[in-house]
Amino acid sequence: MSAISGISTGDTSPRFKTETQDASMGKDDFLKLLVAQLQNQDPMNPADPTEFTSQLAQFSQLEQLSNINSSLDGLDTMSSEMERMSALGLMGQEVVAQTEQFHFNGEPMQFGYRLDTPADDVKMYVLNQSGSTLTTISAKETDPGQYFVDWDGYSDSGMPLPPGDYSLVVRAVDQDEKLLQADSLIRGRVAAVDMSDGSTQLETSAGIFPMSKVERVGAAL
């Protein structure tokens, strides 16, 4: 028997074009449905008043939620604008940021730390980008609070560190050598404000910090 040719063995099932529609319902759509229900109800068998009242209550709740969402969007926009205006007002001001990362420009600077509980010993360490300790500073104050110390930019070996990016790590322990919560604080003067990427960044003499990291502002901190 000879083979039969010319028969396609591919998929021959019918194709139907479909359109994707938004399945969400807004308050306007909900109101249109209620009006259509009233216009098309059977006069001899009207809609149940209780059910209709329930539908009206659902529409009211939907409208309130829609209004709340609009208000929240407006508040978010207003908050962003207020943050930008506040950042511009910091030009030339000294600020304190809660961060471990800082930039050393070759000039003496101030480091800080914050303790929530009393400590027996507090030390601050300046680390390079590889994590090696370059400078060790023994802090005197061990009671809860914020404190600052001056740093001349020298390492433990007495050599000046080159300008660059470094880290400040605070280690606080109690009498039993148990580690305590301690935050690193960096003080710098604001030279510029960067808003190019949608967030607010402060360019200071001690590095670039997000506005959210700033804790204190003022010439005498």
- Are 187 and 108 a contacting pair, CB within 8 Å? no
Rg over alpha carbons for the chain, rounded to the nearest Å, is 33
Query: Per-residue pLDDT tens for 175-201?
Result: 999 999 999 999 999 998 887 777 788
Q: Per the confidence metrics, is the pTM higher than 0.85?
A: no
Give residue 91's Cα distance to chain centre: 22
> Could you report the per-residue pLDDT of 12-68, keeping only the tens digit for each?
444 444 444 444 555 566 667 666 766 666 555 555 556 655 655 665 666 666 667
Q: Please, how many CA atoms are within 13 Å of residue 70, restricted to the half-sphere of its CB? A: 6
Which pLDDT does position 81 carry in this prediction? 61
Q: Please give the C-alpha separations between residue 24 and each of 28, 33, 209, in angstroms, as whole numbers.
A: 12, 14, 41
